[in-house]
Amino acid sequence: MSLFLFLILVALVLGIIGVAAHGLFYLLIIGAVVLLADLTYGAVRFRRGGRKHRLAR
């Protein structure tokens, strides 16, 4: 979960820098790609389910 939130933060910072600084539009694009990759990672991780049950012996 912390990796998911960290990557969202990185994408947000890259997007803000890419918009604010002239000539650094590529950072906005990189931020968008990181955000899409992070959302895909989160969707795959959350779709797999929650806790794995261990067999009692």
User: Does 50 or 41 have the greater pLDDT score?
Assistant: 41
Q: Is the pLDDT of residue 51 over 70?
A: no
- Structure token pair of residue 46: 């959350």
User: Tell me: the pLDDT tens digits for 8-47?
Assistant: 888 888 888 888 887 787 888 888 888 888 888 888 887 7
d(CA 40, CA 47): 10
Q: Can you give the pTM of this predicted structure?
A: 0.64
**Dist. CA 51–CA 11, nearest whole Å:** 28
Please name the amino acid found at residue 16: I
